[in-house]
Chains A and B, each alone.
Chain A
């Protein structure tokens, strides 16, 4: 089910488009659901389809076409490291390797405690900032030396979102 607060966010996106073109808001609605639930479930696709007056398959077509939609749950923090050529020339590949070693998971994997998912990604559009990575689709981290990567991992592990969850509380 989708809360009223979420529906209000949907409505704000739909309002950008002509009334008969509500489908234009599907990208934004899927991104909102992903932000709130961590991924796009088939149930979410059905709810969005109904909300926008689309066929569920048309929503699924969008979810599966764009790289950033998670089709299954990920770790609490999804890290996307850019390894396209301009980034590889400035240690983007090494940043990914460092995180693989540090987290003990291969690219594409999720840590056993469910805190981190590590992915390679194509151009993030921040080539002069390399090494760069994107955290949970919305926050870009720039100039990520190995030292900064370690600070990032330590900082996120110690964050309220993780420690709160361990104590059974909500972040």
Chain B
């Protein structure tokens, strides 16, 4: 047997993470089964109708660039990559009359620990991203785009390349799309293992064939992006939301979420739940409902804490989390961030010191080394948390951890510094007693970390 055949039997099928039938009013994951990712299937689900509508190829007059942007603004769609910036507003920043080449980039470098939603979109519904990107390109007058895909999901990159070929052959991509005078070329690129490239300017550097070190902002990509030209970058899920918005209207999208938090959102639920996976639900769904969809806390244990928006977002204790709804405003009010929608669930068998030790190691490992506070500070953080975990901690370490975090946060070119500092501060804020117990007793407060 060939090695490829051996490996075949261990491939994810998507049944556990995506086709479990436990989404609520899904838009992006609706009707998927793992086999129906091709263009013909997508068209049968109503795919590319939004594009026909925009280009006036369905018998209508079509939509102007301003109308498309106004619809996206009305929808309340906010960036699904982590920052939550209003998408329509971002699109309106693009200088539409700029005489030179402009670029559209999709950020599929999904590496925020806890997040695996974009993988399932690209793997099982790639054309929805392609259609969203074509509409975005039309709205901003852009003729060239790239989708930069996380290097570790190489099979998904290959799947997306295949979908691009289908879209080109069917006239959805290329010159004079569907007989209109709008042309758009779209290509796929891949990373090769660098968390930092999920940061938009690091991604642009990587796309230019360099090491992925973030750029100073301003200038923002809308004025100085790929190859120094105006560029708009959105997350995969953001583009995937666009076709539904065009077909059903901005108001309808807004109404399925809550004010200022329109639409559905895909949450990647991982950690101590019975049924980890991706769950697409309307914004504003109670956390308790999301936890229920994911089968509840594993083995009937008690919920201890949740990291609600990817590893960079501040941890929240169970009681605060259980009172939250899953939307930008509610999680922000509770003192954390919705981030990428990666919900990392921890039960009462978890030691917070050990959990932070692992996260701190990650940020030290992935710091690009450009800014001293991050390059040196992430190492200090890890070494201190590591010594506390290993019974070598000192009583002064907790305050020192906060001081080091203070000296990183807000003092670096990109947000990785903040991302490394925030988990430390939140762990100390909510679980300081566990750190103190470790220092005093040189051992863990909780039993076996299973």
The chain A residues found within 8 Å of chain B, CB to CB, are 16-18, 21, 23-28, 30-31, 52, 54, 58, 61-62, 65-69, 77, 83-86, 88-90, 121-130, 134-135, 137-144, 148, 151-152, 155-156, 158-162
Contacts and interface: CB of A to CB of B under 8 A. Distances in A.
Contact of B3 (A69, A90, A159): A159
Interface string B102-118: 00000000111111101
A55 B421 CA distance: 37
Interface string B249-285: 0000000000000000000111110001110000000
B270 A128 contact: yes
Given A123-B112, A123-B311, A128-B17, 14 more contacts: A18-B227, A24-B208, A27-B206, A61-B210, A62-B210, A62-B211, A68-B152, A86-B270, A88-B358, A138-B154, A141-B11, A151-B9, A155-B9, A162-B3
Contacts of B119: 125-126
Given A83-B358, A85-B359, A86-B344, A31 B192 contact: yes
A26 to B, nearest CB: 4
B407 to A, nearest CB: 24
Nearest to A161: B3
B156 to A, nearest CB: 9
A125 B153 contact: yes
B151 A68 contact: yes
Interface residues of B, number: 68
Contacts of A24: 189, 207-209
A126 B10 contact: no
A69 B206 CA distance: 14
A25 to B, nearest CB: 7
A65 B271 contact: no
Given A27-B209, A127-B342, A122 B365 contact: yes
Given A27-B209, A67-B192, A161-B3, A84 B113 contact: yes
Contacts of B346: 89
B375 interface: no
Given A62-B211, A148-B10, A160 B192 contact: no
A162 B1 CA distance: 10
Contacts of B113: 84-86, 122-123, 127
A26 B91 CA distance: 30
A128 B277 contact: yes
A123 B153 CA distance: 11
A92 B103 CA distance: 39
A94 B148 CA distance: 32
Contact of B155 (A140, A144, A158): A140
Given A66-B194, A127-B115, A137-B154, A54 B209 contact: yes
B17 A161 contact: no
B16 interface: yes
Given A69-B192, A125-B111, A139-B155, A90 B270 contact: yes
B6 interface: yes
- Give the residue among B7, B112, B207, B359 with the most A Cβ atoms within 10 A: B7
